[in-house]
Every structure is written in C-alpha cells, then in structure tokens.
Structure 1
C-alpha cells in the first residue's frame, strides 16, 4: 500500500509539471463519458426486465378469431370480451387476467372539483402475475362485478390525505365506490403489461377497477380499440360482451414448457372449433408472445433512444482517440523520467503499477466530471423527451456499470503510453 501511495504522489507531481495536457485529457474524457452516461441511463432502463425471475413465464396470447376474412393478417393487438372468455376457459395457466385502461374523474363528494384519474380495469390475478404490492386492505374476492376499487398510495394521499383508507367511499365519475385496498409504492418500468402504442413508456394508473364493473359502467379503452362488426361501443354491458369489439389485453402465466405447449395446443383447437362453426373465416394465426418480446413484436421499440445510443457510442470513441493522443503527448514530455526509472532497475510490472495509479486518478477525476455532464444531459433529455423522464433514475447496478466503463476507458487512454513506457527500447528512450 505504501508503494502504491508513492505511485500516486509521483502521478500528482507529473500532473503539476504538465497540468494543461492532463486537464484537457480529463475534460475530453469527461465529456465523452458524460454524454454516454446520459444516454446509457435511458437505454438501460428502457431495455431492462422488470420481472427477470418470471418474465419468461408471462405470455400474451393473440388469435385471429375475427368475423372477417383476410390473407396474411396478423392477430389484432387486443381481444374481444367473448374471445377472452373462450381463452380463459382453460385451466392450464397458473394465473390469467384480462385488462384495459380508461379515464375518469374521482372526488370525495359532489361539492369538490373532480380530479382526472387513469383507471386500470382488470381482474384479480393481475396483482399476482405482476407482483403488485399491497399496503392496506385486500384484493377483490373474485372476478365478478364489485363496486370496489384499489387506489395507489399516491392517489390515496391526493384524495384523502392518508393511506389507511380501507372502507372509505369515493365518487368515481359520480358513482359511489368503496375502497377495499391501497397499493404500496409500485411502478413497473417499462410497463410491459400494456405495450400497445408505446404505452409501456407511460406511468401506471391511479385506480384499479374490476373488469366486469368496467363493462357494466361502459368504460371504453383509452388506448386501443377496434370493432369488426356493428357493435355499439356505447353498449359495453350488452353488445360489448357479445360482439366483435376488441379492446382487451390478456395475459397468462405458464410456468413450465409443458404448460406452454399445452396452451398452444388449446389455442389451436379453439381456433379450429371457431373455424368449423363458421365464426373464423380467416386462416388460423395464433401467437403466444413472451412478455420480454412484446415490445419488439408490436414494433413499438423507441428507435430514437437506439439512434442516440449509437451516436453517443461513436462520440465516446472519438473522445477516447483524442484523449489518448493527449496522453501520449504527456508521456513524451515525461519520457526521460520513465527511462530513468527503467535504467535504475524498475521492472515492467512496477511501471505498470505506476500507470495503474495514473489510471485510477484519471478515473476518479473523469467520473466526477462525467456525472455532472451526465446529469445535465439527462435533464436536457427529460425536457426534450418528457415521456422518457420515468426512465432517468440511476440505480446501484447502473452506477457500477458506468464506473467500470469509466475505468476501462481511462485504461484505454493510457494503454499505448503504458506499452511504450514498459516495452520500448531503453537506449532509444534515453537518447530521446
């Protein structure tokens, strides 16, 4: 340790002799890393797996059970109520839930101004499948219609000023509903259970309502709905349950390969039965898409972030070349000192330790500058792309990766000078 401290002191003395080249090297490296850090933050968060231990067990079944004929058609992104009922008739999945999102207004009494809210209309298994934590109360007892809602913690605080509000009543679009539960702080990012139209980049809903109640109260999807017949979307309670009005997303949990194969066979048999009954004239096209692939399947991957990632990576490479050139010039100015150490008996490993001390010092300084520039870059991108602001957090895993990147880049900058210092011709170095 004493020897390494000595190497650090030598590095500091070397910096004092040529402060400008060293400062320029650190500045260029900090700019390159800072810009890279800013984009890496969004890229990492957007491409992270929110449920890594079970994402390969959650699937989005899609089937082309529609009353119209078409060739080479992909299944609709959303399903009708009747199709979901047919798919959910199977007992193969460990859990299954249909869902959609809608808009509404909430308040405590008619005397108060209404508060706009987003509503997730779903079934009981939703909370189990996506591991939604409960702070107070309980879930619905079953998937029947209930005038009961669950609030997020933030919505409970906004409406009632506290979180322990189980048993309280609120007005949801001027209808009395009872609060049976409050969710703990929870934000699934990216929100892959709702990947239609890049909704996975949005924040979660405020209120959770039973699916059957949502249909009874005529809540229409705010994101994606389409009809393949003359179903009146204003009559969800009746026509919406029987017609070809598609607005439901449907997820199943299949824990084993055997379950997955069995469910695919179940979907095939269902489509064949529908076709035999004359309700499915189009060629059979079933898809069972795993959650981790749903964004790519829908083609909603944010290309702007990928483009920025490529540009910033190229920019970092350019900065590394420039910083390495400055580091080489600094080495040339101190070449006699390195040569003298070799002449006095310093081994190549000792010279490498000296260079490692330089790398650590440069890493510390460049990380400091990069974090400042990276934070400014993240703030700027939040302003330009406000929808991506949910993905701007730095967690421990990301920070560790960024620091390792900074160390690796600092080592690359000093790699060529290190090789020349350790393996160059001593006689030639002393002459120079």
Structure 2
C-alpha cells in the first residue's frame, strides 16, 4: 500500500538528574561533594533510506520515544547518555511541525539525516555547587526534558519528469510502455490512485525517472478528487510531460484540457505552472486525431511548447518524444548548476520560547508560576536543606521571578504555587 502522509508524536529523552553524593574514604571523614552529572537524553533522528518507497512504517506506530539519560553517580561519575532513536524514511520526505506548519527537515539524498527532536541536557551534580561558604551542598540539578511535539510527514516523490493530465488520457499506458513499471490500467476515471515510478531508458542509452501522477481534475488545487494528495508529487520534478487525448474520445477538447490542468497547477503553486512542459498528444492512431493535433500544435508552438504526436498503445512517436525529454533534462541540469544554489533544505527545530520563559497568573487568591525552568528548579530543590533552599531563592531573584510576582500584585503572606510546592510569600 502506498502511504505518503503520516502524523506521529515524538518525545526525545529526558536528561539524567545530577547526583547528590559525598566522598566516603577511610582517611577522609568529612569528604567533599562528589555527585556526578546526569547523561544527555537521546535525540530522535530522521535518516533517508533509498530502499523505502512509502511511509507505511508510520501507519500503525504513532508514538516514538528516545531513551532518557542516566542519573549521575557517586565519585563524580557521569550518567550514561540516552541512546538516539533513528527513524528511517524514504527520500523525498518532508517533516513539518504540526502546530506551526514549519518545515523541520527536507530529506532527499540517501543517508541524509537530521536531528528533529533533541534530548534534554543532563543535570549537574552537587559537586558543581561547592563554594567557600557552602562546603557540603546537599542539592543537585535535575535533567532537562527532551523536546516533544507532533510532526506531519509528507512524501514527495523524487522524479526527473512528471506525467500530468486528466484521468483516462493514457498516462498509465504510456508509463507501462516506456518503463518496466506495471501500473493498473482500465477504462475508467481515477484508475491510478497512487503515484507510479519508472525508469526510462532511451535508445541512445540515456535514462531518467518518470512519475505517473494520478489524473488531475478541475478543483484539484482545493483538494477535489484527491488533488492535494497528489499535486505535491509534481513539485520536485524538473519537467512535465502533459498527456492529452488528442482524439477527443470522450468529447473533450485537448486544448481546453491543457488550459484547465495548467490552471490547477497554478492555483496550487505558481511555481508548478512555470515548470518546463512538453505535450504528448496521445491516441493519434485513432482516425481524425491528426486534424486535432495540427490545431493543438499550432497553438502550443506559439507559446514555445513542443508537442509530439504519439500512441501509447502502438508505441508510435515515443522515441522522438523521449529523446527530446532527455535532451531538455540535460539542458535544465546545466542551467541549475549555473544558477545560485538553492537555499539549504535542512531546517533546525527551534524552541518556540526562551529557555527561561515563565508565566505568572492569579487563580482565585493563589499566584501560579509556571515554566519549564521553574518545573526543573522545583524538582531539583531539597526544601529540607537550607543550602538548597537558599539556591532556590537566589535563582528566583536572578531570573526575575520575584520581580514579576511583585508586578502581578503579590503581597506579604499571599500564597504562591509552583507545580508541586506552595508557600507563603515574604520579601
């Protein structure tokens, strides 16, 4: 089954907590702090496997979690880093952040890889908090949470040439004749429900990848007739072969069909309509088709578009068409090399908020302080230890939490809540 879109949830590993530990040696009765740092949480990495053709692997498993970092240990020993989780995807996969729609990664080349969700940093052990005054700190810092969010995977087939046209104009037959692909062929609309790929080899030894894009209809740019699902596969092609039924077997006007399909391409993405095109005027073996072809060719040539009379059923005119397409591809590749290299295709996921971002809200008579760093600080504080409590208060002041509470109107004796702890405010 061809699956070209999937939604999955990613959760990178949490960093290990820093350890609270002290040296315990025979001749050092009052040893100093020796708590090691926690290990980094595992990343979630996407990597291209050119052997894959669909996103089928993501149809049934929707949640992916990397392993957490190990907590720090005694004797200043670091915790082990969590293992990275590598997810294999087919070439042409785009990874989007669901909420913003931003592209995180655009993976096209075999073995390309990108870190999509980063694991949290490990926490610091208590040995980091020793000072001249605080000789035996009994607190450490917890590890950071890894990034977690939902992404949309979209597969855009990577082909040199795309076949476009209305349903039932002979695209699948054309593909089956010029390649070894075996598409489903029958005399009804929407025969092709999934894109088909094949390799074309011309009689001169050249080759290129050809994609049969399922038949487009009016309204495809709005999603009609599976339009959205298939139009994106046209985007990566260098050139389009526009197949027309020049015999007009279903009472269609080939030139009118040509205009309608190009309008759909333009409305979906203006750049698609600007792609170089060559017209394959199919079914010229049928009586009367030659008259329609001459009219079509005359109009298209005025626009600088080449039109070739072919018959996919009898292979008439195919060599001339394919040789022309191969020549145009070489010209387009040379043109691309001379132009400015396109922008980097791999994007780095960025946190949507500052690392120390927090909010202060008032619920009834309670001031609620929330934020990732607040949660981490609370979880890392030993409220029964004076040194740990002192460090907690120092961080709140240095990070502007106290000032923001004052701005919100907090008064002496008011109740402040920070996740699992509540306390009365005294300045």
TM-score normalised by L of structure 1: 0.22
Q: Report the structure number with the largest CA radius of gyration.
A: 2
User: Which has more helix, going by share of residues?
Assistant: 1
User: Which has more strand, going by share of residues?
Assistant: 2
TM-score normalised by L of structure 2: 0.22
